[in-house]
Structure 1
Amino acid sequence: KLTGSTVLNGAIDPTNVTLASGATWNIPDNATVLSVVDDLSHAGQIHFTSTRTGKFVPATLKVKNLNGQNGTISLRVRPDMAQNNADRLVIDGGRATGKTILNLVNAGNSASGMATTGKGIQVVEAINGATTEEGAFVQGNRLQAGAFNYSLNRDSDESWYLRSENAYRAEVPLYASMLTQAMDYDRILAGSRSHQTGVSGENNSVRLSIQGGHLGHDNNGGIARGATPESSGSYGFVRLEGDLMRTEVAGMSVTAGIYGAAGHSSVDVKDDDGSRAGTVRDDAGSLGGYLNLTHTSSGLWADIVALGTRHSMKASTDNNDFRTRGWGWLGSLETGLPFSITDNLMLEPQLQYTWQGLSLDDGKDNAGYVKFGHGSAQHVRAGFRLGSHNDMTFGEGTSSRAPLRDSAKHSVSELPVNWWVQPSVIRTFSSRGDMRVGTSTAGSGMTFSPSQNGTSLDLQAGLEARVRENITLGVQAGYAHSVSGSSAEGYNGQATLNVTF
């Protein structure tokens, strides 16, 4: 009987063993208790230990009857090996009762892991008619390797096995969603012309915009079926843009400018079974440019936008914190042709094509390597904008206050105002973006390719008012709803300050 803080090292050949709480028995590799222990009453700690370097040699403890009293047994496991891959507890002809906690230690490459075959990795073996109660053994810790979680299961032969779960470990959908989250942010930041200039189309100006909103993807079968993982989160950014050049060329008005932005997004991701996988946070800095061409007589216009973004991302679960950085880039071509319905009402059909790409750095967590393939997607937006087309000339001030008389209106109702609504259909296609987890161990690596392809309906609406001769304030809000596939959905709000010079 071992009591208190007693420590026993090595194999022994007794009839009965009792480990009281606090007592420890260390069993080295390749040590087998040759005669069957009649009764093991276990409330302490048993450790299978290694005195060797290099080759893994499993150890075995054989008992007849085990009475578990919340004692622990630490077993070494090699998920990357097909045979002789775990220490074992053997129940020979007797019974395992009570509760014994099995703590699992990855004795191989912590990043290696393979899908189990057959019954799995045997850690408790029942022989010669031995039986084990349903709750005789419980898994004390999570074992992860490569793309897999391994869980303890009791089989019909009364033995207990570790099996790779059908659902991948939580980090798999979490890391796969990082590609989608970064590209969603870039696409929203680039936006359409309504997000950049508003209905007034002011040139030779500087614009400061603040936007925030909610963004997510529905469950469309999960990552196991090639869909983007289910997610829900928020984003926000501040964007400053300014015109650098305006000129007239062959009946065309040409305007060029640059813009920069800083933003953050935070998204909660779910596993295929609907449980929480973790959270991805992204800090992003962007720099872009735009070119606007407008036909003076017809009003036909085209906008060309280019954007580059540096992403710094962190994925957090209960077991891992994984960080990566990367670059996203985007190009957009948008066109529209306004038609006057009445003197102050305009209808403008629009068409926009967007192509984007993303490259994230490879890395590793405590269960394996993480490698990202090149991500890309294409989007087509078709819609129209309907809105007022009032003359936004400020005119003379009417304020009764002497200092503001020439530059401010007497009341809000006197301010020049325009409104607009913009319904659209957005189709995402040809999306790609591989994520691979595993190691160099043959058979341990797995590649996941979540698709962003799908269709969504989008509605934006805005209002702008000229509050000074050279100052315009605008607000807008929007909502996108996915109607097929794995396209993004959410809502947004934006406020814009436009100052002409």
Structure 2
Amino acid sequence: MDSGKILGLVDQGDGANVFKISAGTVSGDVSQGSGVDNFQMTGGTIASLTQGDSRDVFVMTGGTIVGGFDDGDIAKMTGGTIGRVNMKLDDNLFDMSGGTILGNLVTGFGDDTIIVSGGTIGGNISVSGGDDRITVTGGVINGEIRASSGNDRFIWNAGGLIKSSILMGDGNDTALISHLTEDTLSLTPSVDGGLGNDTLTFDNSSSAGAARYIGWESVNLTNNSRFNLAGDFFLGDSSSGTGSFTIDSTSALQVTHGAVRPYTSGQLTTLTNAGVIDMTSASSSAADTLSVYGNYVGRGGQLLLQTVLGDDSSASDKLIVSQGAISGNTQVGISNLGGQGALTLQNGIEVVQAQNGATSSADAFALKNSVSAGAYQYYLFKGGVTAGSENNWYLRSSVIAIAPRAAPPAAPPLIIRPPSAPPVAPAAPIVAADEPPVEPPTAAPVAPADPPSTVPADSPADASPTPAATTPALPAAVAGAAPIPLFRLEVPVYSVVVPAAQTLMLNALGTFHDRQGDQSLLTETGLASAGWGRFYNNDFKKSWSGTVSPSLDGSLEGFQIGNDLYSSEISEGRYQRFGFFVGQTHLRGSVKGFAEGFQGRQAGQTKLDGDNVGLYWTLSDRSGWYVDAVAMATRLDGNSQSDRGVKLETHGHGLTLSLEGGYPVALSDHWSVEPQAQLISQHISLDDQNDGISEVSFDSQNYTTGRLGARLNGRYRVSNTPVEPYLRANVWRTFGGSDTVTYDDVDRIKTQHKASSADVGMGVVAQLSPTVAVYLGADYDANLDSNDLKGISGNVGIRMSW
């Protein structure tokens, strides 16, 4: 029919009928009767359509069916308008990519398939008994989707809007939500699995609103899916009672304050995590919790938490497992939320809580990343030191054992009393029969309150805490002893920086004889009358006392070039001179100290370079005595790096002042002994830095060092060359004072200056010509106190008269 108007109905009768309409009007019903019928509509208007029995085909691209379309079997709609659709015979197929259905789309009886990729449905989509399949990829559905009984499958993929509830009904149903976001899903108030063993799968989708998803026995996050959990997610229905929630290796459960609960209180859910449980991205506080009422199973997944890294009272996000078992393996990632580090003295910072009888395997959790704050390293431990904490997991910056249990009090004496009349038993209360549970098609059950703990908080645990599986070896804790601090590796490395700078500057200063050779060489007068230079090195092992007892196994080398600016003979045989020098010193060393619970732990490396400039004044007498004063400024640059790769730059400056004197006493024509004394003051200032973990600041008191020594000096001529061999010995004393390294203005790590050492050495000075002299020497250093020192140093110099 391509034009005109038919008043009344059109009855094609039984048989293989065909009706085509592109224009015109049929005011009544079009009835095709029994048989394999075909209806095609591209335009026009009819009142209604009844296709009858057999496998009928319906195609609509335009036009209007004012009333209903009944009894079709295979229908394809790309355009036009239908009042309602009721395909109630056989296994029906309705494929809609355009057009409008003003009312409901209904299929009945067999295993039906509905595909909606476009268009608008004003009412509900309903399928009755049978294993039906509903697929939505586009369009708008204003009513509900009602799958009814049967093992139905619902697929919602990449598009379409559903503005009312999805009700899967009874049966073992499955639903797939694929490539959708919460912006689309939020328009659907409820996705209800109904009774049965039902499975809901999110595929590359993001969603929230746990209360929307009701009655599912299995919920799966797959293929980069994200679910934001900020409430209770109930699993199961009134028949099954519970269910499971699974996160695959590509997906994440983002949590603020969320819970995974069974529909029936007392049953156990199972949360399996092969992906990420993230409490860091949806909240900026360290107070988020995920409660699992049942079992938690790690399958190589991650648990990301925000924690204020401080003492035992610090806040942290938390995984809470109630009644069930914690098993498998999970990597715990910790983000520090402003914590400045502190020593934990009791259980530590709780990050996993096992309550109401829940248990945990010993290898259930391990740290994903290194956890440091301030001066401390935090490790993950199973169990605390108080009763009831044995299955919890804690971050701790110390190693601690449970306190020894107190002996039980003696039993009081038994008092025998005469029997009294037995009390009359009260009548048993009358208990009303339980009301049947309400099926939750629209509302989740109310979560019961957790029972309070009955374990006294101050009683000791049954076993000492156990480090997580990936924790490095830690010292054994001793019951009743003080906790062993776990300083991070960088602490001894940074603690040695100022002492290393002092060592560098002290070697750059040297002694008068290290720089000038011998007072017998100082005979020039006038302006810029002589110059000198030297090269020195020192290989040493040195330790300091303090909080972390750092030690440095290092070497340094340097050079200096100096020149007398002016020299004069102020009286007969007595000379004074003013001069300057410049130089560089390079120090490299390996650092050990008290870190991660162990003394003498290999910790890292330090590098320090010093650029020196100095002025000197020397007064010497022909009889041999001398007085030498030096002021030297040093610019310091370098870096320190721990063995785990954390690096800190070093920038600063230092000032060294020295006053030295010696007076030789003749022993024979060729030998004399020269007592010597030297007093040195050093000031070191280093810039504050940040190593990515904390702010690090250096505060150093002035170093004051004294030297008392003697030099046994000979005078000979070898092949008409004046040669002066010598032996020398010194005692060095660095007096009280300390260096302090402060982390985030809270944790202060002190290193003591106080040290005593001695050196012995030998050398020779040779006057090669009236204008050139050379000198060289070697010394051995050793400690005189408990601060270890072993070192070998050398010095080679030349002095030239201009």
Residues 28 and 70 of structure 1, relative CA distance in 2, 3 Å threshold: closer
State the distance in 1 between where 2:317 and 2:272 align. 20
Q: TM-score, normalised by structure 2?
A: 0.55
Structure 1 residues 101 and 52 mapped into 2: Cα distance closer, same or farther (>3 Å)? Answer: closer
- Classify 1:70/1:201 alpha carbon distance in 2 versus 1 (closer, same or farther; 3 Å): farther
Describe the shift of the 1:84–1:415 C-alpha distance in structure 2 as closer, same or farther (beyond 3 A). closer
Q: Provide the secondary structure at the position in 2 that maps to 1:10.
A: strand
Deviations 1:385-431 (A, max 9, x none): 11212358xxxxxxxxxxxxxxxxxxxx6644321111111111023
Of the two, which has the highest radius of gyration? Answer: 2
Question: Whole-Å Cα distance in 2 between the matches of residues 433 and 337 of structure 1?
Answer: 35
Assess if the C-alpha contact under 8 Å between 1:214 and 1:491 holds in 2: yes
- Mapped to 1, the partners of 2:570 and 2:502 lie a distance apart of 35
Q: For the Cα contact (< 8 Å) 1:452–1:485, is it kept in 2?
A: no
How far does residue 432 in structure 1 lie from its aligned partner after superposition? 2.8
Match of 2:335 among 105, 108, 115: 105
1-structure distance, mates of 2:581, 2:506: 15
Cα distance change, pair 206–468 in 1 and its aligned pair in 2 (3 A): same
> 1:116-164: CA deviations, max 9, x gaps?
3431111111112121122221112111112221111111521111112
Asked if the contact 2:729/2:760 (under 8 Å) is kept, the reply is yes
SS of match in other structure, 2:343: coil
Report whether the alignment pairs 1:248 with 2:248: no
1:105 & 1:63 partners in 2: Cα distance? 26
Aligned equivalents of 1:4, 1:495: Cα separation in 2: 72
Aligned-residue offset at 1:434 = 2.2
Q: Is the 8 A contact 1:268 1:279 kept in 2?
A: yes
Deviates more, 1:166-175 or 1:304-313: 166-175
Which residue of 568, 574, 591 maps to 1:269?
A: 591
Cα distance between partner residues in 2 of 1:481 and 1:277: 24
For 2:329 and 2:394, locate their aligned partners in 1 and report how far apart those are by CA, in whole Å.
16
1:259 pairs with one of 554, 565, 581 = 581
- Report the RMSD for the aligned CA atoms in angstroms: 2.4
Aligned positions of 1:37-76 closer than 5 A: 38-52=269-283, 55-76=285-306
Q: Are 1:307 and 2:629 matched, yes or no? A: no
> Gapped runs of 5+ residues in structure 1?
393-412, 440-444
- Cα distance between partner residues in 2 of 1:302 and 1:391: 27
Indicate how the Cα distance of structure 1 residues 217 and 469 shifts in structure 2: closer, same or farther if over 3 A, else same. Answer: same
Share of identical aligned residues, percent? 25
Partner of 2:491: 172
| Map of 2:260 onto structure 1 | 33
Query: Per-residue CA shift, 1:303-323, capped at 9, x if unaligned?
Result: 111111011131212252212
* AA partner of residue 299 (structure 1): G
2:681 paired with 1:355: yes
1:18-417 → structure 2 map (5 Å cutoff) = 18-20=246-248, 22-35=249-262, 38-52=269-283, 55-80=285-310, 85-106=315-336, 108-109=337-338, 112-155=340-383, 157-165=390-398, 166-199=485-518, 201-203=520-522, 204=524, 205-218=530-543, 220=545, 222-224=546-548, 227=549, 229-251=550-572, 252-272=574-594, 273=598, 274-296=600-622, 298-317=623-642, 318-390=644-716, 415-417=721-723
Question: Does the aligned pair in 2 maintain the 1:75–1:86 contact within 8 Å?
Answer: yes
Shift of 1:83: 5.3
Give the number of equivalent residue pairs: 467
1:41 counterpart letter in structure 2: T
Contact 1:179 1:375 in 2 (8 A): no
Q: TM-score, normalised by structure 1?
A: 0.87
Q: Which residue of 1 aligns with 2:37?
A: none
CA distance in structure 1 between the partners assigned to 2:544 and 2:752 by the alignment: 12
- The amino acid that maps onto 2:582 is G
CA distance 1:92–1:207, change in 2 (3 Å): same
- After superposition, the Cα gap between the structure-2 partners of 1:416 and 1:37, relative to the gap in structure 1 and judged at 3 Å, is farther
Give matches, 1:447-486, under 5 Å: 447-486=748-787
SS across alignment from 1:185? helix
Structure 1 50/468 Cα, relative in aligned 2: closer, same or farther at 3 Å?
Answer: same
Indicate conservation of the 8 Å contact 2:312/2:346, yes or no: no
Cα offsets for 1:423-463 (capped at 9, x unmatched): 11111102332221125xxxxx0222211211101112212
Q: How far apart are the structure 1 equivalents of 2:312 and 2:259? A: 22
Distance (Å, rounded) in 2 between the aligned partners of 1:18 and 1:376: 62
Contact 2:311 2:349 survives alignment (8 Å):
no
Maintained 8 Å contact 1:58/1:85: no
Contact 1:211 1:493 in 2 (8 A): yes
SS at match of 2:752: coil
Cα pair 1:207 1:240 within 8 Å, conserved: yes
Matches within 5 A, 1:10-21: 10-11=228-229, 12-14=233-235, 15-20=243-248
* Most deviating of 258-267 and 1-10: 1-10
- What is the rounded CA distance, in whole Å, between the counterparts of 1:33 and 1:92 in structure 2? 10
Equivalent residue of 1:94, what SS?
strand
Q: CA deviation at 1:485?
A: 4.4
SS in 1 for 2:234: coil
Q: Counterparts of 1:219 and 1:452 in 2: how far apart (Å)?
A: 7
Task: Report the alpha carbon displacement of residue 78 of structure 1 after superposing the two structures with TM.
Answer: 1.6
Go from structure 1 to structure 2 and tell me whether the alpha carbon gap of 1:4 and 1:233 turns closer, same or farther (over 3 Å shift): farther
- The alpha-carbon distance between structure 1 residues 487 and 379, as it changes in their structure 2 partners (threshold 3 A), is farther
| Equivalent-residue separation in structure 1 for 2:313 and 2:680 (angstroms) | 52
Q: Deviations over 1:144-197 (max 9, x none)?
A: 112221111111521111112313222222222111111111111111122011
Query: How far did residue 52 of structure 1 move?
Result: 4.2
Q: Which letter does structure 2 place at the counterpart of 1:190?
A: L
| Secondary structure of the structure 1 residue equivalent to 2:751 | coil
Q: Tell me what 2:410 maps to.
A: none
Q: Aligned partners of 1:201, 1:134: CA distance in 2, in Å?
A: 76
CA distance in 2, matches of 1:4, 1:56: 27
Q: Distance in 1 between matches of 2:272 and 2:373?
A: 32
Pick closer, same or farther for the CA change 1:171–1:84 going to 2, 3 Å.
closer
